[in-house]
Amino acid sequence: MAVRVKIEGITSLPDARAAIRYGADALGFVFAKSPRQINIKQARRIVANIGPFVQTVGLFVDANIDEIMATGNAVGFDILQLHGCETASWINDHLDVPFLKVFKPRRAGFTGTIEKFRAKLDRPGQMRAIVLDAYDPKLAGGTGKKLPWEWIARAREAGKLKKLPSIILAGGLTPGNVAEAVRIARPAAVDVASGVESRPGKKDYGKLRDFIAAAKEG
């Protein structure tokens, strides 16, 4: 089964339509301080004009739950993505909708941390997938840094991924390396922002086309 592709940091309708035209399965919208940050009005206009056959994802970093839900409801996202330090306890207390959770491993033995997080969730099925991104001490994402794909391959070989949700691989992916990343890590999906941009917040359509084609053929 071909890997699915999520294009993160969509800021305009032309970029969204280009991503869909080249085969993107999901589009991400950033509601956090970033060159890719978007507001509710912009996101709502895009989501309302892209058709029903692509998933839309609202990304938040340690946001207030009222802000998250108000934004999600106003735009009409299919799923939320938690990209900050949100704890299982916070999720249990505040969130009752499906979500993706970002983890940024600092070492090869990363699976135990995620297993413990999931075990603390009152409704573990809410966490539909995990996003594995590269760690950066200063930035939440979009750094262009690469997560060691071999960590995921070793964890799979050791049977340590069986208790985890599906993996979405992010961090430092480009049209030139995504096929290799898919071959090594074998994720369910890949997630890219800076790797398909001409500048922060603006997609390069040639890179979009090449990235999606390489990911799905990888």
C-alpha distances in Å from residue 75, one per residue of 24, 44, 48, 71: 20, 5, 8, 6
C-alpha torsion angle, residues 169, 174, 179, 183 (rounded to 10): -40
CA dist., res. 73 & res. 202, Å (int): 26
Q: What is the pLDDT of residues 174-199, one digit of tens each?
A: 999 999 999 999 999 999 999 999 99
Q: Which residues pair with 168 in a beta bridge?
A: 131, 189
- Dihedral angle at the C-alpha atoms of 42, 61, 6, 55, nearest 10 degrees? -60
* pLDDT higher than 70, residue 120: yes
Q: In the structure, what pLDDT confidence band is assigned to residue 51 with cuts at 50, 70 and 90?
A: confident
Taking residues 113-140, report their average pLDDT. Answer: 89
CA distance 81 to 100: 5
What are the structural domains of the chain? 4-217 (3.20.20.70)
pLDDT at 141 > cutoff 90:
no
Q: With cut-offs at 50, 70 and 90, classify the pLDDT of residue 115.
A: very high
Q: What is the mean pLDDT of residues 199-204?
A: 95
Query: Once rounded to an integer, what is the mean pLDDT over residues 131-157?
Result: 81
Contacts of 211 (CB under 8 A, 6+ apart): 5, 173, 174, 175, 178, 192, 195, 196
Does residue 139 surpass a pLDDT of 70? Answer: no
pLDDT digits (tens, 9 = 90+) for 65-113: 999 999 999 999 999 999 999 999 999 999 999 999 999 999 989 999 9
pLDDT of residue 202: 96
Question: 115 near 163, Cβ under 8 Å?
Answer: yes
Assign 134 a pLDDT band (cuts: 50, 70, 90).
confident
Does an H or E element contain 214, and which? helix 205-217
Centroid of chain to Cα 206: 21
**What pLDDT digit, counting tens, does each position of 10-26 carry?**
999 999 999 999 999 99
